[in-house]
Structure formats: C-alpha cells, structure tokens
Amino acid sequence: MRQYLVAGNWKMNKTLHEALALTSEVVNMISDEVTTPVTVVLCPPTAYLSTLNRYLETSRNVVLGAQNCHEKAAGAYTGEVSAPMLQSIGVSYVILGHSERRQYFGETSSQLAEKVNSALTNGLKPIFCCGESLEQREGGDYVALVQNQLTESLFHLSAEAFANVVIAYEPIWAIGTGLTASSQQAQEMHAALRGHLAGKYGPQVADDTTILYGGSCNEKNAQELFAQPDVDGGLIGGASLKSREFVNIVKSF
C-alpha cells in the first residue's frame, strides 16, 4: 500500500529553543487536527535530533528524519554522522541526495548509492531526492535525466530493499525560488518515474512507492499538487519552518 507522507526539511535553520517550540506546536496541531493517515517526518539539523526525539516518543504519526548521513558506518571522518548513529538515537528517515548536497558538497550518484546502502542496512528509510536544473529542463531531455538519477543510485537494490525507499522529485529551479512546478509538470514527472520503477521492479512495487514533490510547495498549492494521482505528498523546505503553514500542508490531502 502506498503511504502518504509529508516531510519538513528545516535545512540549516533554527536555534534549539526555536526548534523545540516548532516541534511541540507541530505535534500538538497534528494530534488535534489531522485525521487522514499520513506520515509526518520532521528533519531538523542533526544537532537537535536526539533532543527532539523525546518530544516525539508519544506522538503517533510524527517521526524524525536526518538531512544526510555518511556512507561509512564509523571511522576517521571528522564532522560527519553515520547511519548507525542516527538509528541509535531514534531517527527513522534520512534525506539523501538533496540538490544542495549534490551542488555544494559534490555528492555523486555512486556515493549516493553507498549512502542509500548504509541507510537501509541500518534500518533508516532514505528519502531519495532527484530533479533537474532549469538549463536541463530547457534542454528537453529532463525526464530521462531524472530517471537516470534513480537508475544510478537505486537500481542496484533488490525489490525487497527498494520497498523502504521514498522518492522526492525536486526540480532544482523550484527549490527556494517561489517558482513551483505546476501540478501538470509534477504529475508528468511523477508518472514517468513510477513507470521507470515499474520497468525495473514491476508494477506492484512501482504502485506501492511513495513519490513526494518538493520545491516551493506551500499551503496554497499543496492541495492541487497532492491531488495528482502520482503525487503522494511533499518534501517541504521554507514552509516547514512555520508550524501553522506546515500543518496546513499536511492537511491538504
């Protein structure tokens, strides 16, 4: 069964005090107002994961995600955090391959394949990001390009392992720009990605895969985006930093 999911990617924002306030507001609003079966994933900065976990222990459908992890389990990698460490503090999901990581930290497809392996081996569900730049979209072959991102970093997985992966389609030109993909543009890509998954893993696995949209998704456009048959939720950046707006997005299904 396909799972509906909304994840908040806080990126490098919020002090601890602000993070605690945002978390408790979101948890309370979700428990009071959300009746549909949707998984909510909060992805705060790594420094707060352990503290915030205590707030989430009693909440039914709000869980924690990290924004990245290293591909190795342990070792001399100053400043990094590994999948077993995240797992040991109660993290359930990890965003991998966000375009900011690819762009600013030089993450490659083969490195992401290793990160995906490490996450899955340690019981974390990857939220695997893919997406094209504006230049690539205008170049015309953007669908094949994004499909290829899945091939390069995920298609070594068995169908059983792949069942724990969430895909997030995030057109780079829409991230943090206020330029959202139209619901038709999102649906076109999501359907093409699902078709690509069906070619590799068969129609049942493809149908069961959660595919999120990300890129300037907000409380105004979420409903139309989530109404598309192949859009199963969102990866929310800027709009996840405000509790009221984020919960309104969660309520958009």
As given in the structure block, the two tokens for residue 201 are: 């893993």
Task: Indicate the residue whose CB is closest to ligand PGA.
Answer: 237
Number of residues that bind ligand PGA (CB under 6 A): 13
Ramachandran region, residue 35 (left: φ > 0; alpha: ψ -120 to 50; beta: rest): alpha
> Which segment (85-93, 109-117, 189-197, 235-243) binds ligand PGA by CB under 6 A?
235-243
In angstroms, the Cα distances linking 130 to 79, 144, 193, 243 are: 25, 12, 10, 26
- Of 70, 98, 190, 196, the catalytic one is 98
Among 216, 221, 243, 252, binds ligand PGA (CB under 6 A): 216
Among 96, 130, 166, 236, binds ligand PGA (CB under 6 A): 236
| DSSP letter string, 8-23 | EE--S---HHHHHHHH
Question: 67: which residues sit within 8 A by CB, 6+ positions away?
Answer: 9, 10, 11, 43, 45, 46, 94, 95, 98
The answer to whether residue 175 forms part of the interface with ligand PGA (CB under 6 A) is yes
Measured from the CB of residue 68, what is the shortest distance to ligand PGA in angstroms?
12
The answer to whether residue 219 forms part of the interface with ligand PGA (CB under 6 A) is no
Among 5, 9, 83, 247, binds ligand PGA (CB under 6 A): 9
CB contact at 8 A, 177 and 133: no
| DSSP letter string, 236-253 | ESGGGGSHHHHHHHHTT-
> Which segment (138-146, 157-165, 170-178, 185-193) binds ligand PGA by CB under 6 A?
170-178
> Which segment (24-32, 44-52, 131-139, 212-220) binds ligand PGA by CB under 6 A?
212-220
**How far, in Å, CA of 192 to CA of 160, rounded?**
22
The answer to whether residue 176 forms part of the interface with ligand PGA (CB under 6 A) is yes
**Site residues, ligand PGA (CB under 6 A):** 9, 170, 175-176, 214-217, 235-239
Catalytic residues: 98, 170
